[in-house]
Amino acid sequence: MSEPENSSAPRPISRALARKMEHLPLALQNQDEGEVNSSFRSLKELIDFASSKNIAKGITDMGDSGLAEALPFPFLALVGQNEMKLALMLGLINPNIGGILLIGPRGTGKTTAVRSLLELLPNVERSTCYYGCMPEDVEIGGLQAICPECAQKFAEGKALTASDRVRLVELPLNARLEDVVGGLDERAAVHERLRLRRGILAQADRNLLYIDEINLLPDEIMDAILDAAAQGLYTVRRGPVSATYRARFVLIGSMNPEEGRLRPQILDRFGLRLIVRGLENAEERLEAYRRVQAYLSNPRNMISQYSAEIQAAAAEIQEARKRLRSVQIPDEIAKTAIELTQKMGIDSLRSEITWFEAARAYAAADSRIQVNAEDLNIVAPMCLRLRRSSFMAEYFKDQASEETEMQDLLQKLQ
Ligand SMILES: [Zn+2]
């Protein structure tokens, strides 16, 4: 919670430490765990350091491994792919960035990177009630807005929420609409008490919702997800019963463009767009291979080598989330950014909302409460790419010539 300038914790020069550790073999790098924890001025520095432990840039392609889910590959051990890693971090810090889309061929580490977020997930306040009653419901709608049990608790001054870890919810590609939004609880129905079962979207509230191969998802399911994401809640009606669920989640999608396109209205919903390419540098590929090898032969050992940095990064993310509320963008900088999006011919307002929210998250991660031009520069490509539409450009050009023609004809009428 405290800003770094007020902190009395020792902060040795991290670059010197980084250099010192670069020359150690992987297995020996993390012995001095206590030191690692206090050696970084910012989350970004820590991530840059851990990601480049042996080699600066690259990717990890570990294919499908049954171990990946139970013991995910350490996020900080992914070689290179800095933009993707940064985007995922920003998503953990600021849920308002509006989703992250990872576009790239198979085997570029997209799914690995998303699953490896498991160890970095921050905590949120979550309702302890089956109906999801929250204190803010009372603020908005009074005691009638929550269930009788929670109303009682609230009146007694008891907490309706508890601190809980953000979860990574994966949507299976074969999920039915009923799984996604929820449906009648058949077991409850037998006892003549109609009750709705929470769907995946309700489970994703205040969590991350990951959809691999998002471009292959059936339209009706994609539409239900986008509606819920846009409003932060959704209502299910089944016969005489209906229920409204909160569904505020960070949507993460990944896709291989070779396998089908994504509808433009879906693309527009994704704040951050990442193009994930394979490794170009042979040395980096070798380093990625070595780490995958180390992981496959002994995942626990590999993970423990990164545990100090992972803990430090998780703590920094939690701090950055708290700091985010105070992070401001000066008007001057915001105006310049808006002018730039206009010059680029981007129409969607979502682009600058995302851009500003990503820059705020970046500043928060860097322990600052004011966004500067550099923050905007760093996150700009992931916010602004794939926003321009050649179709719309053509369309507006045609429309403009029609407008001129019409005005000319109207002049003659006078
Ligand atoms: Zn309740």
Domain presence at residue 88:
no
Domain presence at residue 196:
yes
The single-letter DSSP state of residue 124 is: E
Query: What's the confidence (pLDDT) of residue 132?
Result: 77
Query: What's the confidence (pLDDT) of residue 6?
Result: 39
Is there a single domain that holds both residue 297 and residue 340? no
Average pLDDT, rounded, for the chain: 80
Is the pLDDT at 34 greater than 60? The verdict is: no
Query: What's the confidence (pLDDT) of residue 23?
Result: 31
Is there a single domain that holds both residue 372 and residue 414? yes
Residue 70: how many other CB atoms lie within 10 Å:
8
Is there a single domain that holds both residue 263 and residue 388? no
Top-confidence range, 75-84, 259-268, 326-335 = 326-335
Is there a single domain that holds both residue 316 and residue 354? no
Cα(123) to ligand 1 centroid in Å equals 21
Top-confidence range, 15-24, 26-35, 57-66, 265-274 = 265-274
Tens digit of each residue's pLDDT (9 = 90 or more) over 108-131: 889 999 999 988 998 888 888 877
Tens digit of each residue's pLDDT (9 = 90 or more) over 141-176: 888 888 889 999 999 999 999 998 898 999 988 899
Domain presence at residue 274:
no
Query: What's the confidence (pLDDT) of residue 37?
Result: 39
Angle at 221 between CA 218 and CA 225, to 5 degrees: 135
Average pLDDT over residues 215-243: 88
Is there a single domain that holds both residue 300 and residue 357? no
When pLDDT is cut at 50, 70 and 90, the band that residue 62 belongs to is very low
Range of the domain at 319: 9-79+279-324
Cα(149) to ligand 1 centroid in Å equals 6
Is there a single domain that holds both residue 152 and residue 249? yes
CATH of residue 396's domain is 1.10.8.80
Is there a single domain that holds both residue 131 and residue 257? yes
When pLDDT is cut at 50, 70 and 90, the band that residue 33 belongs to is very low
Domain presence at residue 149:
yes
Is there a single domain that holds both residue 229 and residue 302? no
Query: What's the confidence (pLDDT) of residue 190?
Result: 54
Query: What's the confidence (pLDDT) of residue 263?
Result: 86
Least confident of 79-88, 180-189, 319-328, 383-392: 180-189
Tens digit of each residue's pLDDT (9 = 90 or more) over 298-347: 989 988 889 898 899 999 999 999 999 999 999 999 999 999 989 888 88
Top-confidence range, 40-54, 233-247, 254-268 = 254-268
Q: How far is CA 170 from CA 203, 259, 344, in A?
A: 10, 20, 35
Are 75 and 85 in contact by the 8 Å Cβ rule? The answer is yes
Q: Which residues are catalytic?
A: 350
Query: What's the confidence (pLDDT) of residue 40?
Result: 59
Are 100 and 252 in contact by the 8 Å Cβ rule? The answer is yes
Is there a single domain that holds both residue 332 and residue 320? no
CATH of residue 204's domain is 3.40.50.300
Number of structural domains the chain divides into: 3
Cα(395) to ligand 1 centroid in Å equals 51
Query: What's the confidence (pLDDT) of residue 44?
Result: 64
Is the pLDDT at 19 greater than 50? The verdict is: no
Is the pLDDT at 64 greater than 70? The verdict is: no
Cα(159) to ligand 1 centroid in Å equals 11
Cα(126) to ligand 1 centroid in Å equals 12
Tens digit of each residue's pLDDT (9 = 90 or more) over 174-197: 899 999 998 777 665 555 556 677
DSSP per residue, 317-356: HHHHHHHHTT-B--HHHHHHHHHHHHHTT---THHHHHHH
Is there a single domain that holds both residue 261 and residue 297? no
Residue 272 main-chain phi, psi, to 5 deg: -105, 135
Domain presence at residue 385:
yes
Query: What's the confidence (pLDDT) of residue 70?
Result: 67
Nearest to 294 by CA among 8, 74, 3: 74
Least confident of 30-34, 187-191, 197-201, 395-399: 30-34
Are 254 and 110 in contact by the 8 Å Cβ rule? The answer is yes
Average pLDDT over residues 405-410: 88
